[in-house]
Structure 1
Amino acid sequence: MVSLPHPLPGAVGLSHLSAYDWEAADGVCGGSPHLHLVCTEGYVVTAGRGAVQTLSPDGYRDLPLEAGSVAWFTPGTVHRMVQGGGLRITVLMQNSGLPEAGDAVFTFPTEVLEDPERYAAAAALPAGTGPEVAAAARRRRDLAVAGFLPLREALQAGDNEPYLRFQQAAARLVRARVPTWRELWRAGALAAAERTGAQLDALEAGDPRYLAEATAFGARPTRLGGYGMCGRRDEYALPGVTLPQSGD
């Protein structure tokens, strides 16, 4: 059984992002479009400006981002962070550990999505933060945009079938990982909720002895400027928060 003894509040994931300023094929600077299968993702904008482009079965949206604004997207929503100038975001992820364990699928073209080995090779990045990693991250971003643009065009024309097919392909890609995700969820988000239930039971019974275990924690980023899906990412080596993988 996986154990996450001291997760962040609610067992959320945490990172900081500076959106990529690389120009894509459509002239837009930003990150790699992708969706999450079971995790809601939230942006808290701390500096700069930009936007997040989203695709869902009910259409295309372009949400402006500026310091102080918040945006979030439920599972199945493709999101593409767009750089407008100095955009800096704190990312909060539901179900800490699951995104890093593969709960994210890029909008690669269909022929890549339908070949698990080809998908894995296209999604992987070399270790480190050097120029070769930057080049690989940019190629990955460009491939995701190549699949994203036709999906967006179809949705804007009122046709959601290509998007629904993408969701189905994404679900097929990750199906084998579900048992691992379930263990991470049980150890993290579910365990955190169950602890709250136990504490409420104790208070109702007039037994606050669990408060004797009260303590505090602190942490600083352990890696600066990693290459995530949406941009350069500062990460924390905390239980369930940021594992050494390339998801946002």
Structure 2
Amino acid sequence: MSGDGAPLPGAVGLSHLSAYEWEAVDGVCGGSPHLHTVCTEAYVVTGGRGAVQTLSSDGYRDVPLRPGTVAWFTPGTVHRMVQGGDLRVTVLMQNSGLPEAGDAVFTFPAEVLADPGRYADAATLPAGTGTRVEAAARRRRDLAVEGYLVLREALSAGDDGPYREFLRAAARLVRERVPVWRELWRAGALAAAERTGAQLDALADGDFAHLTGATAYGAEPSRRGGYGMCGRRDEYALPGVTVPYGGE
């Protein structure tokens, strides 16, 4: 079996993450806080322990993660994966993996968010692997934590102004990408829903022709141990899954 012929159910994307064990300025080990603007993302915990810290209209939350936990976040939820000991997570992503291929905005300080060029420089990692890439990933994480702590402190004090300003900056930063994302959505999630509609119509008419082409697929990671936003990442080159962008 191979994964060359069909997208995953519902045109979702997936990857596997091992949460970073680097200690941040607040003494917490974990990833780079960020949000997605049009995608819901889910963590399925497969090993270890940890937590995900979130900022949203609900305020600040700390959700424990342990094997069997499923936690998910709607667009606009800032999330920070926190390492508690060998934390391993399978990530399920809306829209063909778009969260790891462009739909992500880091919680950098306001002055970085205000300058698209400066933001891009801070968000983009060098190509390849090795100590140079790791150092850049750590700098990116530390800068995101710096801005995140400001947002968290304000929300915890009942002030949602900085969080709302961050949402405004995030929307501004991704605006030019929307036409490309719309095409990915049409080819992925929308097309998957429309196929189901056509199949339902066929079954209602007694037509089972689409069942005669049934088959099965399998896939192995196309890259292991890349530097993702939350940790070291194994990713898959599957049909309909967007190719990781320069920020990853």
| Cα distance in 2 for residues equivalent to 1:54 and 1:115 | 25
Is contact 2:124-2:247 (8 Å) kept? Answer: no
Shift of 1:237: 1.0
What amino acid is aligned across from residue 36 of structure 1 in structure 2?
H
Give 4+ residue runs of structure 1 displaced > 6 Å after superposition.
Answer: none
| Cα distance in 1 for residues equivalent to 2:239 and 2:199 | 22
Shift of 1:246: 5.8
Shift of 1:67: 0.7
| Cα distance in 2 for residues equivalent to 1:64 and 1:199 | 40
The residue number in structure 2 matching 1:88 is 88
The normalised TM-score by structure 2 is: 0.96
CA displacement 1:148-175 (0-9 Å, x = unmatched): 0000000000000110010010000000
The residue number in structure 1 matching 2:195 is 195
Is contact 2:125-2:133 (8 Å) kept? Answer: yes
The normalised TM-score by structure 1 is: 0.96
Q: Cα distance 1:41–1:247, how it changes in 2: closer, same or farther (>3 A)?
A: farther
Shift of 1:242: 5.2
Q: Report the RMSD for the aligned CA atoms in angstroms.
A: 1.4
The residue number in structure 2 matching 1:76 is 76
Shift of 1:54: 0.1
| Cα distance in 2 for residues equivalent to 1:39 and 1:204 | 32
| Cα distance in 1 for residues equivalent to 2:85 and 2:246 | 24
Aligned residue runs from structure 1 range 120-135, under 5 A: 120-135=120-135
Does residue 36 of the first structure (1) align with residue 44 of the second (2)? no
| Cα distance in 1 for residues equivalent to 2:168 and 2:180 | 20
The residue number in structure 2 matching 1:239 is 239
Aligned residue runs from structure 1 range 159-238, under 5 A: 159-238=159-238
SS at match of 2:95: coil
Runs of 5+ consecutive residues of structure 1 not aligned to the other structure: none
Shift of 1:240: 3.1
Is contact 2:125-2:247 (8 Å) kept? Answer: no
Is contact 1:227-1:246 (8 Å) kept? Answer: no
The residue number in structure 1 matching 2:56 is 56
CA displacement 1:24-44 (0-9 Å, x = unmatched): 000000000000000000000
Shift of 1:97: 4.0
What amino acid is aligned across from residue 139 of structure 1 in structure 2?
R
